[in-house]
Structure 1
């Protein structure tokens, strides 16, 4: 660590005066502090934090725009964990310092990396946020616990938490950024909720996970049943100050500060310490930086901000997205000064991560047709492509609804073509034809959230067989394992393992038959966070 980091600095403006130290390098060495000095603080930008419960009176966020909003299925007003030991209520879903012996939680830290003012317990240091004046709404998707990584208790009694329902509520509430510092596999409704977020112009940021070994696909193709690898999600891995990551992962799209940053060792701790923050803190820090960018360039759409992010990473002067072929850095290390200096409105209103996943998937025999072809699916709801990870042992699960991903990319691409034609013709307000401006009409769920913050149930726009208009030949060569589900089986709970059969395309050799799970847990099985969280 450079000696200069050991020198205490003072946050500006003075309203947030707190001494910064080596563990705050994500503020002092990335252009964040300079942005504050220019009056760029994320004011007016709403950020959703989907995570564990937040300690609302944690000193660093107690005086900030932070609230907690519990969103349950079917209008439920309370829930408990399976053991009936923990309870959350819609009327009071946050925690207070000392509740169940907790002073911080994983969700508390993520909110603090976005808006925290650095205040800590007993007059000591706390966590400093990147976007001091942003507004954070915490949407708990799990109970606060003392451990800051691993499985967390979920709502199972009284009311249930459902990822799609919570995400729809966050979108309906006007959040421009949704931070998800966890990894999870979800039910098929994940696809519709994510696609609706794209149609609303919302940017979703997720932690890539914290495997210490090389992992993930061998190219960026997305994984449509995983929240942190879903095509279009900004999947962030942690890096040190030199921009180095600790592993290869084809699902990573960006690197951001995480190593040697301030954090807490456990939920019962009251003092910060410097350690590895993992992809959790990297994603939250990224969300804060994006809030600064959106505050600086309020007319840019979420897609245009993402275009700027992938085109203006550290060391990339080409003006185009450049993906790391070694699979360590995605599109590179986030470069806040360049993002603040570059108006994103110059770029297409097309999600570049969505575009990359769809186009890359069509280049590989194993993944071709993931998002574009359903012509021979019949009654099957879930398929599995040939193994496509770095060691060739893990396949990618694909749901029938994944065709919506390809359709959304085509919609965005077509909409931008209309914008460009309008500009060529000398038209006025050509952005009225953009994907973001026309997205609401295309959304599968346009109903506002209900009184308890729950979005109305979506109306499915998934067609029957052949839902995608793509040529069936585009997926020739892909081998799928099918989970065969009848109507009665499909309605059953998650984690049911069913028999499957192999469908061959164009006389390819039959693959090994193996059971495929009909659905998977609807809440995070693993909260991302290296080392401590």
Structure 2
């Protein structure tokens, strides 16, 4: 029996299909066996009403989006006329190549995820971006080992988030899975404090999926404040395990289309297209929706955008209600997201604590408050927290503290010198008196 969440999403999809029947030609509960990856992408494009959003002028213009991936080929025709920049500040100390013309798994994956945001439809894959006019910066880990180029204990994901926030990104997403690390808490707190949204793809059921393999119960989606996106097919079903069972990620925030989608290129060849499935596709889909919402409601904070995301799922506006059957708060839904004014919602992140599926305990609310006051604060518990401003230098607060310490140390040194001089004067005076007494005896 399908879960209540799946039935609700299926009902929303069915309603959309009835409305768009002349365009789609098939109900989501009876997908034709001959359907292609491109047909799947076109189906979700129509279900999400993306053309209608674009016609209304919502194309992501003016919104900064950061993509955390491994590699990309930014010179492909699919990016012509788009605002795409590969960050010149490396995430990794090894400074591996990020922009490459080599069609390998890392570059094809990063290129495909970027195309889902700003692709122009050129090429065999035909991928069009949800937010074609967004201002995109790509932060790459390279295809090999990556040691974050920072002294702090932080993962490439965490450091990428920090760099993205420094670059002014409003929407930050990754489709590269990884294990949650406590050292990333300050980076996520920094993003939340600066009004950004962080989205991460959840785990996939097998090692052939788009995401790097990791434990589904300890992935980045368990971090407080992070939107965890999982994939569903046109029947509103989750991905399946080898045994044919639904692959349930309990910490899922929302689900989105991501099964049998086209990919840019094949190994060694950029001119053809492959087919892939995975939460990798759900992450940029959700990020694209939030980008359009951020354009329409420029005064909305990242917290408010997340509030709107989880209260407009399944094609309805409602009080957020979460399940642990792998659907989270439901299916992200662009049409209802765009009619819900997030500025009327609380400016607090709703994805904090176990009730939201978060199990790591970080970042804490104290870390977020510290980040609001001092930027990227590494250690809240320290009496003198080390803070960094947007350039990664010591913050003004840190500089002021250093100045105070310098004055104190200097003052103590002066007092010691005075004490030594006074002591010498006293000793010399006493000796002279004794010498004088000896002479007159």
TM over 0.5: yes
Distance 1:273 1:26, change over 3 A: farther
**Counterpart position of 2:192:** 198
CA distance in structure 2 between the aligned counterparts of 1:332 and 1:458, rounded to whole angstroms: 41
| Residue 58 of structure 1, CA deviation | 1.6
- Kept after mapping to 1: 8 A contact 2:70/2:107: no
**Counterpart position of 1:343:** 341
- Kept after mapping to 2: 8 A contact 1:305/1:344: yes
| Residue 275 of structure 1, CA deviation | 3.8
* Equivalent position to 1:329, from 324, 327, 330: 327
Q: SS of the counterpart of 1:119?
A: coil
CA distance in structure 1 between the aligned counterparts of 2:271 and 2:160, rounded to whole angstroms: 32
- Kept after mapping to 1: 8 A contact 2:251/2:356: no
**Counterpart position of 1:175:** 169
- Kept after mapping to 2: 8 A contact 1:199/1:443: no
Q: SS of the counterpart of 1:353?
A: coil
Task: State the Cα deviation string for residues 470-492 of structure 1 (Å, max 9, x = none).
Answer: xxxxxxxxxxxxxxxxxxxxxxx
| Residue 205 of structure 1, CA deviation | 0.6
Task: State the Cα deviation string for residues 193-212 of structure 1 (Å, max 9, x = none).
Answer: 11111111110011001025
CA distance in structure 2 between the aligned counterparts of 1:405 and 1:309, rounded to whole angstroms: 22
CA distance in structure 2 between the aligned counterparts of 1:458 and 1:216, rounded to whole angstroms: 37
The number of aligned residues is: 342
CA distance in structure 1 between the aligned counterparts of 2:104 and 2:261, rounded to whole angstroms: 24
**Counterpart position of 2:407:** none
CA distance in structure 1 between the aligned counterparts of 2:252 and 2:328, rounded to whole angstroms: 5
* Equivalent position to 2:160, from 141, 145, 166: 166
| Residue 155 of structure 1, CA deviation | 3.7
- 1:43 corresponds to 2:61: yes
- 1:133 corresponds to 2:66: no
| Residue 459 of structure 1, CA deviation | 11
Task: Give structure 1 stretches of 5+ with no counterpart.
Answer: 8-19, 80-86, 144-152, 218-222, 362-366, 372-401, 412-434, 450-454, 462-533
**Counterpart position of 2:364:** 405
**Counterpart position of 1:119:** 122
Task: State the Cα deviation string for residues 261-310 of structure 1 (Å, max 9, x = none).
Answer: 22247342435557443100110111111101111111111110100111
| Residue 47 of structure 1, CA deviation | 0.5
CA distance in structure 1 between the aligned counterparts of 2:163 and 2:205, rounded to whole angstroms: 30
- 1:207 corresponds to 2:201: yes
CA distance in structure 2 between the aligned counterparts of 1:208 and 1:459, rounded to whole angstroms: 38
TM-score norm. by structure 1 comes to: 0.57
- Kept after mapping to 2: 8 A contact 1:183/1:228: no
| Residue 241 of structure 1, CA deviation | 2.4
Q: SS of the counterpart of 2:53?
A: helix
| Residue 192 of structure 1, CA deviation | 1.1
- Kept after mapping to 1: 8 A contact 2:103/2:269: no
| Residue 61 of structure 1, CA deviation | 1.2
CA distance in structure 2 between the aligned counterparts of 1:358 and 1:297, rounded to whole angstroms: 28
**Counterpart position of 2:221:** 228
| Residue 250 of structure 1, CA deviation | 0.7
Distance 1:406 1:59, change over 3 A: same
Q: SS of the counterpart of 2:343?
A: helix
CA distance in structure 2 between the aligned counterparts of 1:336 and 1:240, rounded to whole angstroms: 17
Q: SS of the counterpart of 1:126?
A: coil
**Counterpart position of 2:238:** 245
CA RMSD of aligned residues (A): 3.5
* Equivalent position to 1:154, from 141, 145, 151: 145
Distance 1:22 1:253, change over 3 A: closer
CA distance in structure 2 between the aligned counterparts of 1:459 and 1:216, rounded to whole angstroms: 40
Q: Please identify which structure carries the higher helix content.
A: 2
**Counterpart position of 1:448:** 390
Distance 1:26 1:274, change over 3 A: farther
**Counterpart position of 2:84:** 66
| Residue 102 of structure 1, CA deviation | 8.1
Task: Give structure 2 stretches of 5+ with no counterpart.
Answer: 1-12, 26-37, 208-214, 240-246, 378-386, 399-441
Task: State the Cα deviation string for residues 321-351 of structure 1 (Å, max 9, x = none).
Answer: 11124x2200000111011111111100011
